[in-house]
Structure 1
Amino acid sequence: MQIIYSTHNLSLPQSIATIGFFDGVHLGHQYLIKQLIAEAQKRQLASVVVTFSDHPANIIHNKRIELLTPLEEKLTLLSKENIDYCIVLPFTKELSALSARTFMEQILKKELNVHALYIGYDNRFGHRLSNKEGFEDYVSYGKECGVEIIEAKALLLKEIEISSSLIRNLLKEGNLSLANKLLGRPYTLVGNVTFGKRIGRTLGYPTANIKPAHQQKVIPSDGVYAVSVRLNGSRYRGMLNIGCRPTIKNGKTKTIEVHILDFQREVYQQDIELVFEKYLRKEIEFKDKKALIEQLQKDEETVRHFFENKKQP
């Protein structure tokens, strides 16, 4: 997949495209892209995904939207979908002011040489004042601009309409199992190991404190998780806690801490990736450290049992 960040003096072959923010590159996105690629191959045209560097709400509403996949992660996932080109447009106020018809004519047709456009079942684009427009309007504009409009089939999973916002909410609610199903893979979080107060060591469970690499990345619900840990090219098993450690810290500062099983080395200031495999329980305030340690031992047993019985991909 060739990634293109500027449409200035761009010369692309005739193509079939789809457009969207594609946060999470979830099963619904993947299904749309598969339809796009199949049609492109049938017509012997290039396949193009048009996406944006920033979430539209950040610009239009000055609203900070948490993301399932920041740009770099999103592009990595899209590159696995066998797309020919991915166009990353900077989402600016000027771009947001374009009507759907103008965007189709100036950007898609003139600059990107798009012959046909796949529209997702819930896809809308163009200035917010034109949000009442639907598929029939896009078909009409397309005829005027020379762009064929194709309505993509929607993917339903047990009658669930898959969306990025739904997955974000599921992660925040602690429903990791369904979130992972809709993503088509386990949710991941990349960060850097920072210096902590080494409280875990006094409990027999030394932890690595994680600072997320991206401030806008969705942090799953507080609680304890079974996670896979990717570190320096190797993969380990771990038990993760997200929360305020109420038994130790009186619930004031949220932390992300992972205890890597059967691991002794120092990993300060190293990059780490957490793969969220299973949600175990809510964070609990215990009456004393002894009760906390007893629960940590139970959590460890649960995590080990989970990985021993987990089917390997």
Structure 2
Amino acid sequence: MNVPAQPCVATIGFFDGVHRGHRFLIDHVRAEAGRAGMASMVITFDEHPRRVLQSDFQPDLLCTPESKQALLLETGIDRLEVLHFDKEMSQLTAREFMKQILRDRLHVRKLVIGYDNRFGHNRSEGFDDYVRYGQELGIDVIHNEAFTIDGEQVSSSAIRRMISRGDIEKGNRFLGYPYTLTGKVVGGHREGRKLGFPTANLSLTNHTLLVPAPGVYAVRARLNESPAWHRGMTNIGTRPTFGGTETTLETHIFDFGEDIYGQILQISFVQRIREEQKFDTPNALKAQLEHDKQQIEQRFEKLSDNE
């Protein structure tokens, strides 16, 4: 990406998930840029900073780098700058970062700071320090209020907690869109096929993405980024009825009979229906799956009525 020569209004952060709080912040940046007659810019990183600082850290992210960039560009900002975060950058103090990166390289003249954002070596400085450095460097530092829903601050960590406990509906409300996983369809144990519920078994292409809590979910699924979304249900768990031990993600797509092994499947989560259970017999599991499907179809019909 070519570095802009003109002065700009910017914000900076990792922006995992590009949730409603992030978009509230970016709207502030765009409004400030409009008033100042400058370009608007979002600055983010190609790596989670903690992965660089702690080699054994494996983040459970809400989106891939590619989907994050696409979501950020959809906000209507003029420019997106993705910085390569490495050990050298991690050693910069906040003032050095503001001078060398923000002012000298990216020509930032106004910096809108998220309510909980910190940057610089060890993240040891805070908003008052940024304001003071900005006054010395010619950068106007502006504070952005937290975005809340029902009195709760919207943040990536809060959304991760919701999805980790299976509260997909609340997580989606905070994200502003349905939480989605993408992966390649791989061979499975074919137990579902024997029960009349053939499943597509997903191998996640990016293992740093957060997998929701075990259980059965109402989902929408699509192949190879096709415009057509299909209704379905996904089970996340260890298949305890069949003595499984490894976590799998299996999706039964309603009214669908194609062979899709090896294809890329997107799973968009709508609602958690129940926890994973162990059944005494395969027939008992089949009866439950039939009940799950009926419940999920009713759920989708209600959604259609409200659209």
Same-fold status (TM-score > 0.5)? yes
Number of the residue aligned with 1:104: 98
Which whole-Å CA distance do the structure 2 matches of 1:199 and 1:247 have between them? 10
Number of the residue aligned with 1:94: 88
Which whole-Å CA distance do the structure 1 matches of 2:77 and 2:50 have between them? 26
- C-alpha deviation, 1:304, in angstroms: 0.7
- C-alpha deviation, 1:125, in angstroms: 0.4
Number of the residue aligned with 1:294: 287
- C-alpha deviation, 1:91, in angstroms: 1.0
Q: After the TM superposition, which residues 157-168 of structure 1 pair with which residues of structure 2 at under 5 Å, given as runs? A: 157-168=149-160
Q: Secondary structure at the match of 2:44?
A: strand
Number of the residue aligned with 2:132: 140
Match of 1:305 among 290, 298, 306: 298
Which whole-Å CA distance do the structure 2 matches of 1:124 and 1:71 have between them? 21
Q: Secondary structure at the match of 2:266?
A: strand
- Amino acid in structure 1 at the alignment position of 2:75: E
Match of 1:187 among 171, 179, 198: 179
Which whole-Å CA distance do the structure 2 matches of 1:163 and 1:50 have between them? 18
Which whole-Å CA distance do the structure 1 matches of 2:4 and 2:37 have between them? 17
- Residue 272 in structure 1 maps to residue 239 in structure 2: no
RMSD, aligned α-carbons: 1.2
- Residue 122 in structure 1 maps to residue 120 in structure 2: no
- Residue 25 in structure 1 maps to residue 36 in structure 2: no
Which whole-Å CA distance do the structure 2 matches of 1:294 and 1:109 have between them? 64
Q: Which moved more, 1:303-312 or 1:48-57?
A: 303-312
Which whole-Å CA distance do the structure 2 matches of 1:168 and 1:91 have between them? 23
- C-alpha deviation, 1:61, in angstroms: 2.4
- Amino acid in structure 1 at the alignment position of 2:136: E
- Residue 198 in structure 1 maps to residue 226 in structure 2: no
Number of the residue aligned with 1:44: 37
Which whole-Å CA distance do the structure 1 matches of 2:166 and 2:187 have between them? 27
Identical-residue share of aligned pairs (%):
44
Match of 1:262 among 248, 255, 258: 255
- C-alpha deviation, 1:25, in angstroms: 0.5
Q: Secondary structure at the match of 1:238?
A: strand
Q: After the TM superposition, which residues 31-70 of structure 1 pair with which residues of structure 2 at under 5 Å, given as runs? A: 31-62=24-55, 63-70=57-64
Alignment deviations for residues 241-276 of structure 1 (CA, whole Å, 9 cap, x no partner): 00111001x131111000000001110100111110
Q: Secondary structure at the match of 1:258?
A: strand
Which whole-Å CA distance do the structure 1 matches of 2:38 and 2:4 have between them? 14
Number of the residue aligned with 2:167: 175
Q: Aligned residues, how many?
A: 303
Q: Secondary structure at the match of 1:121?
A: coil
- Residue 71 in structure 1 maps to residue 68 in structure 2: no
Number of the residue aligned with 2:223: 231
- Amino acid in structure 1 at the alignment position of 2:143: E
Note the residue ranges of structure 1 that are not aligned, 5 or more in a row: none
Number of the residue aligned with 1:84: 78
Note the residue ranges of structure 2 that are not aligned, 5 or more in a row: none
Q: Which runs of 4+ in 1 moved over 6 A?
A: none
Which whole-Å CA distance do the structure 2 matches of 1:12 and 1:52 have between them? 20
